[in-house]
Structure 1
Amino acid sequence: MNNIYDTANKLEQELRETEAYSDLKVAFSTVKADSEANEVFQKFQEVQMKLQQKQMSGEEILEEEINEAQEMALKSGENNLIKDLMDAEQKLSTLVDDLNRIIMKPVQDIYQG
């Protein structure tokens, strides 16, 4: 019987060979190569991270922080390079979600059956 970690490592390598992964890699490189897009994207990530950290620690998120996040989301959505990156992220995320559903099927069967 195969070691489950060997299977996971093979899955990781196969994921790197998917179109979704390749598209994400190209989109990220394109954003990084464009100074304006990269600056907007970095700021957007900083705002998201700050909000996630506050949420995880149970801190209140202020209205001005929500407004800042919405403003950065709009600004990011207006940049076609960042929009393409987010589309590529979503495509890869869908693939990973599908894989997770398959992997978790035995556990789901226990609770449903």
Structure 2
Amino acid sequence: MTAKTMLAFFPDSRNADRAKAILQNLLFVVAVRKYVAEIPDPDTSVSALMAGSLPNLAHAVYGTEGAGDKGAYLLIVTDEEGHREEIAGTVQECGGSVIREDA
């Protein structure tokens, strides 16, 4: 049995909490873990963004620096079936985006 993982980003951490609560009730979701995004200085250079981490990318793509909320990531672990469509739908309904998937 091979688990599948998905990483989702939410610009608003409250939406991540809502998605986490929904996902935890699905039978095929093995685990959901929330991580607060540690977004760096808003004046980070483009080269630092290109070589940087996911929080840097989130800052650049979602422009979260002025919102007062750093956003959050959800690491979602599912059974071997993955159920990508259901999870991606829930993430999108809650205002997030799936940014990475691994088998």
* Same fold at TM > 0.5: no
Q: Which has the higher contact order (CA 8 A, sep 6+)?
A: 2
Rg larger in structure: 1
Instruction: Give the TM-score normalised by structure 2.
Output: 0.26
Higher strand share: 2
**TM-score, normalising length from structure 1?**
0.24
